[in-house]
Amino acid sequence: MTWSEMQPLLEQACLETLVMVGWSTLIAVLGGLPVGILLVLTDRGGLLQNAVLNKVLGQVVNIARSMPFIILMVALMTFTRWVTGTTIGSEAAIVPLAIGGIPFYARLVETAVREVDHGLVEAVQAMGGNAWTIVRKVLVPEALPSLISGTTTTVIALIGYSAMAGTVGGGGLGDLAVRYGYQRFESGLMWVTVAILAVVISLIQFAGDYAARALHRRGARSGPAPRLRLLKAGGPAAADVGKVA
């Protein structure tokens, strides 16, 4: 197969992979972020301590994470058909990709949020901040570099999942590699596909690491005090925070 024959196939496959990974990442982040934060808040000693909710939510996340993606796709075929009207193609692949990505990202969020200095949380509580204020003003901003790293890991994992989706007609680079590289013995196209995936993953990892380091350096320079200005300066609570800081 010549390059002129490969090019349109590769362009279409790259576009399908971009659509699948882009939408599934967005859904995974929007769904996994609150789940991960809720796992921390409802844990023992958390701001919204609730042992029953924490155990149930944790078990659901664990079960979803432990299921191999190829089995998850098959198990969700009925739901996928109900949502998209089909079980074949890149649009249909978004459903299992997103559902598989939510618990994966939720655990990364949980780990990132647990690393936040508890003293900052206590300082905001002393100022009268509620759980929502603490999440919005402390937990998420302080964990942002780790959240960026977790998002990068999730994107790379979803790229791998999207390649597996290609084995059941999900489209994208995985489908192209299977149909042409494996079934039609086009080894040249197979290696081009592998090279594209390697380059894309390397670029995503580099961009994610750079963004995380930049946010970490900016946070280190600014210090915790500016991020704790939740009440008007000069109030009694502000003085207490100054002592804690």
Q: Per residue in 134-155, pLDDT tens?
A: 888 888 888 999 999 999 999 9
Please choose, from the candidates 206, 217, 194, 110, the residue with its C-alpha nearest in 3D space to the C-alpha of residue 152.
206
The pLDDT of residue 236: 44
Neighbouring residues of 213: CB distance < 8 A, sequence distance ≥ 6: 145
- Is a pLDDT exceeding 70 seen at residue 26? yes
Residues in the chain: 245
98 pLDDT band, cuts 50/70/90, is: very high
SS3 224: coil
219 pLDDT band, cuts 50/70/90, is: low
The pLDDT of residue 32: 94
In the block, tokens 């508890």 appear at 118
Question: Are 50 and 44 spatial neighbours (Cβ–Cβ below 8 Å)?
Answer: no
Question: Are 93 and 106 spatial neighbours (Cβ–Cβ below 8 Å)?
Answer: no
SS3 46: coil
Residue 48 DSSP symbol: T
Q: Using H for helix, E for strand and C for coil, what is the string for 96-134?
A: HHHHHHHHHHHHHHHHHHHCCCHHHHHHHHHCCCCHHHH
- Around Cβ 192, how many Cβ atoms within 10 Å? 21
The pLDDT of residue 232: 39
Highest mean pLDDT among 30-34, 89-93, 232-236: 30-34
- Is a pLDDT exceeding 90 seen at residue 1? no
62 pLDDT band, cuts 50/70/90, is: very high
230 pLDDT band, cuts 50/70/90, is: very low
- Average pLDDT over the chain reads 83
Question: Are 164 and 174 spatial neighbours (Cβ–Cβ below 8 Å)?
Answer: yes
- Is a pLDDT exceeding 60 seen at residue 227? no
Give the N- to C-terminal CA distance of the chain in Å, as an integer: 66
Neighbouring residues of 69: CB distance < 8 A, sequence distance ≥ 6: 96, 100, 161, 164, 165
The region of weakest confidence among 47-51, 123-127, 159-163, 231-235 is 231-235
pLDDT more than 70, % of the chain: 87
DSSP H or E run through 35: helix 3-41
The region of weakest confidence among 65-79, 112-126, 231-245 is 231-245
235 pLDDT band, cuts 50/70/90, is: very low
Of 8 and 175, the one with more pLDDT: 8
The one-letter code for the residue type at 37 is I
